[in-house]
Amino acid sequence: MLHDPLENSKTVFHGLRFDVRALDVETASGKTFKKQYIAHPGAVVILPLFDNGDVLLIRNQRFAVGQRLLELPAGTKEKGEEAATTAARELEEETGYTAKKLTLLTSFFTSPGITNENMDAYLAQGLIKTAQKLDESEEIEVEIHPLQKALEMVRTGEIKDGKSINALLFYQAFYLRL
């Protein structure tokens, strides 16, 4: 049986936003294997929805894939920060909007084969225009699209970011049907 990986793991690489940790894992058959994973503080993705049903998306430069991706705003939790606080902060920083109301839609592991990152998906409503507060390294453009167009962009592959696909489809499949 697998146990809590944080219990007996050691940091083999300390990064700016995450660490790589190593541990020995014993399986139910008694065999031991060396494993590594990315230890992540957690993150949020935000589905900003205007009163008319339009969705606020961002076009974000993603160096790991060498592309500018169309996605929902998102960000990493600061140490000790509540997810809703992260969602409010990242929404304003990346889009230049605040929300009167944040509603938790769902939580999920982003890629449990390599990381313990847990992501909370929030619906942001009652959007109020402020100003973007981008980090020096960020190149983010804001785009507004009707919800149905955003869902069509998921279907066609124009939106190919997993967290955005998850939040948009969860909202359509479950939240709208309540």
pLDDT surpassing 70 at residue 18: yes
Active site residues: 136
Query: Lowest mean pLDDT: which of 60-69, 102-111, 140-149?
Result: 60-69
The answer to whether the CB of 22 falls within 8 A of the CB of 100 is no
Residue 4 pLDDT? 57
Structure tokens at 42: 């957690």
pLDDT (0 to 100) of residue 156? 98
pTM of the model: 0.90
Question: Using one digit for the tens of pLDDT, what is the confidence trace for 39-50?
Answer: 999 999 999 999
When pLDDT is averaged across residues 127-137 and rounded to a whole number, the result is 94
Least confident segment among 3-12, 67-76, 117-126, 153-162: 3-12
Which numeric CATH code is attached to 43-175? 3.90.79.10
pLDDT for res 26: 86
Q: How far apart are CA 118 and CA 11, in angstroms?
A: 19
Residue 2 has pLDDT above 50, yes or no: no
Separation CA 170–CA 175 (nearest Å): 7
| Residue position matching structure tokens 């809590």 | 4
Q: Rounded mean pLDDT of 120-137? A: 96
Report which residue type is found at 117: E
Note the pLDDT tens digit of each residue in 80-100: 999 999 999 999 999 999 999
What pLDDT is attached to residue 17?
A: 83
**Residue 167 neighbours by CB under 8 Å, 6+ apart:** 45, 46, 47, 72, 105, 106, 121
- In the chain, what percentage of residues exceed pLDDT 90? 75
Neighbours of 122 (CB within 10 A): 28
- 59 pLDDT tier (thresholds 50, 70, 90): very high
pLDDT band at 1 (very low <50, low <70, confident <90, very high): very low
Calpha distance 26→1 (Å, rounded): 7
Q: What is the pLDDT of residue 6?
A: 63
In the chain, what are the domain boundaries? 10-39, 43-175
- R_g of the chain computed on alpha carbons: 18
- 3-state SS class at 52: coil
* Burial letters 74-111, b for 16+ CB under 10 A, else e: bbbbeeeeebeebbbbbbbbbbbbbbeebeebeebebe
What contacts 88, CB < 8 A, 6 or more positions away?
Answer: 98, 99, 102
